Amino acid sequence: MLRIAIQKSGRLSEDSLKLIRECGISFVSSSYKLKVEASNFPLEILYLRDDDIPGYVQDGVADLGIVGQNVLVEAGCANLEVEALGFSKCRLSLAVPRGAEYNSVADLQGKSIATSYPTILGDYLAGEGVRANLHTISGSVEIAPSIGLAEAICDIVSSGSTLLGNGLREVETIFRSEAVLIAAPNLSAEKQELLDQLRFRMQAVRRAQR
C-alpha cells in the first residue's frame, strides 16, 4: 500500500483531493479523520501541515506527498520532486514600501528583510553578491515594514493584492512555484510500480485538461 501525504486544510487541499479523485481513486474524506484508505487503489491518504510533508517523505514515513515547490526547496528537499502538477502557482518576490527608492537588488545591501523563506532568499542574495539582515517570521510578513521590523520583505505573491493592501511594491521575482508530487528516495519495487501507475493517471488527467 502506498501512503500519500497531502495538506489538511489550505490552498493545496482541494486541488490535491480533486487530482486523486480524477485519477479514478475513491475514498471517503471526513474532516475528523487524518488518515483514510482508498477503496479501489492501494492508497492511504494522510492529512498534514504542508510544512511537515517534505520531511515525512524524506524519512519514508509517507511514500508520496503533494506540496508547493516553495516549501520543498526551502526544506532542502528539491531532489524528491517527481512530477509538476500545474496548480497552486505562485511566485516568491521581494517587495519594498511603495515610496522607497529601488533600482536594483544591490539597493538591499545592508538592509533588513523579513521572510518565511530564509534559505531560498539567502541563496538568491548570495548569488547577487548582496549581504542583508534576514528576519525569519512565519506569517503576516507583509506587515513587517509598516511596524518597523524590516525595510523590505520576501514572500509568496499570487494576485498581488496583499502587497498592494499593505503599501508594498513588488520589485523582484526570485522563485516561481507550483504544486508537485514528491516521492521517498528508496521505494520498494512494488511501491515504485504503484507510483508509476499513479503518475501515468496524473499525466492523463493533465493532458485531458489542456
Residues contributing to the site for ligand PRT (CB under 6 A) = 7, 10-12, 49-51, 68, 70-71, 88, 90, 155-162, 177
Residues 6 or more apart whose CB falls under 8 angstroms from that of 5 comprise 46, 47, 48, 52, 53, 56, 57, 62, 64, 65, 66
Which one of the spans 42-50, 116-124, 131-139, 195-203 is the region binding Zn ion (CB under 5 A)? 42-50
Name which position in 3, 23, 48, 50 contacts Zn ion (CB under 5 A): 50
Cell 524519512: give the residue.
Answer: 59
Which one, 1 or 34, has the nearer CB to ligand PRT? Answer: 34
Cell 492508497: give the residue.
Answer: 43
Which one, 39 or 136, has the nearer CB to Zn ion? Answer: 136
Which one, 155 or 194, has the nearer CB to ligand PRT? Answer: 155
21-30 long-range contacts (CB < 8 A, ≥24 apart) are 22/205, 23/198, 23/201, 23/202, 23/205, 24/201
Q: How far is the CB of 59 from Zn ion (least distance, A)?
A: 18
Q: How far is CA 53 from CA 9, 82, 110, 115, in A?
A: 13, 15, 34, 20
51 belongs to the binding site for Zn ion (CB under 5 A): yes
Q: How far is the CB of 104 from ligand PRT (least distance, A)?
A: 23
Q: How far is the CB of 106 from ligand PRT (least distance, A)?
A: 26
Which one of the spans 24-32, 51-59, 125-133, 175-183 is the region binding Zn ion (CB under 5 A)? 51-59
Q: Whole-angstrom Cα distance, residue 56 to residue 102?
A: 40
Q: How far is the CB of 197 from ligand PRT (least distance, A)?
A: 26
Q: Give Cα 134 to chain centroid, integer Å.
A: 20
Contact 121, 134 (CB under 8 A): yes
Where do contacts with Zn ion occur on this chain (CB under 5 A)? 50-51
